[in-house]
């Protein structure tokens, strides 16, 4: 198990300004998910080939191919964030809102704060509620525990959005 300190350092470290907004979230998720090297989510092999994804698939910077089981995967494969057209930044904001909420987060809250449709907000709530128990989401919670509010979290992750 990785220490809380690693994740607190990860969230408080400022992002490089040379990286644009599209690449920041997948890079953050890659570092969160695979601290000790990228592993195949199916066979847990470290024999991985990484290549750039086409621009029409914005949910991650890279597509990975396992050399053992020959499966392709992204940083979101096997998580609650997998196979949606919702930008990863909005997923992270929703996770922070769920973590910071003292009551159950309703889809109407996501509609109001994230600017998504009601159907999308329902999908996000439906996926995130059970997903809060997974190790990947728990790691994100460890990172977010160090910050007081979701806005502080995202100022640290995406400083260019607040300039």
The answer for residues whose C-beta is within 8 angstroms of residue 27's C-beta and 6 or more apart is 19, 61
pLDDT tens digits, one per residue of 11-37: 444 443 333 455 677 777 787 788 788
pLDDT tens digits, one per residue of 107-153: 998 999 889 999 999 999 888 887 666 666 666 666 655 554 455 55
Position 67 scores a pLDDT of 94
107 belongs to a structural domain? yes
151 belongs to a structural domain? yes
Please state, in angstroms and rounded to a whole number, the distance separating the CA atoms of residues 117 and 114.
9
Number of domains the chain contains:
1
Question: What is the pTM (predicted TM-score) of this model?
Answer: 0.67
147 belongs to a structural domain? yes
Question: Which domain does 94 fall in, by range?
Answer: 4-36+78-162
Give 53-96 as a 3 state SS string. Answer: CCCCCCCCCEEEEECCCCCEECCCCCCCCCCCCCCHHHHHHHHH
Please state, in angstroms and rounded to a whole number, the distance separating the CA atoms of residues 16 and 124.
29
86 belongs to a structural domain? yes
130 belongs to a structural domain? yes
């Amino acid at each position: 198990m990785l220490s809380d300190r690693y994740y607190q350092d990860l969230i408080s470290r400022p992002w490089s300004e040379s990286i644009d907004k599209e690449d920041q979230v997948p890079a953050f998720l890659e570092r969160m998910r695979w601290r000790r090297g990228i592993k195949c989510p199916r066979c847990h092999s470290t024999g991985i080939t990484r290549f750039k994804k086409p621009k029409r698939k914005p949910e991650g910077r890279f597509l990975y191919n396992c050399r053992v089981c020959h499966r392709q995967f992204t940083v979101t494969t096997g998580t609650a964030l997998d196979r949606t057209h919702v930008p990863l930044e909005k997923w992270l904001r929703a996770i922070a809102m769920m973590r910071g909420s003292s009551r159950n987060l309703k889809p109407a809250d996501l509609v109001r704060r994230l600017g998504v449709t009601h159907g999308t907000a329902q999908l996000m709530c439906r996926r995130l509620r059970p997903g809060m128990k997974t190790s990947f989401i728990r790691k994100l919670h460890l990172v977010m525990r160090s910050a007081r509010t979701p806005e502080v979290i995202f100022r640290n992750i995406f400083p260019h959005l607040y300039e």
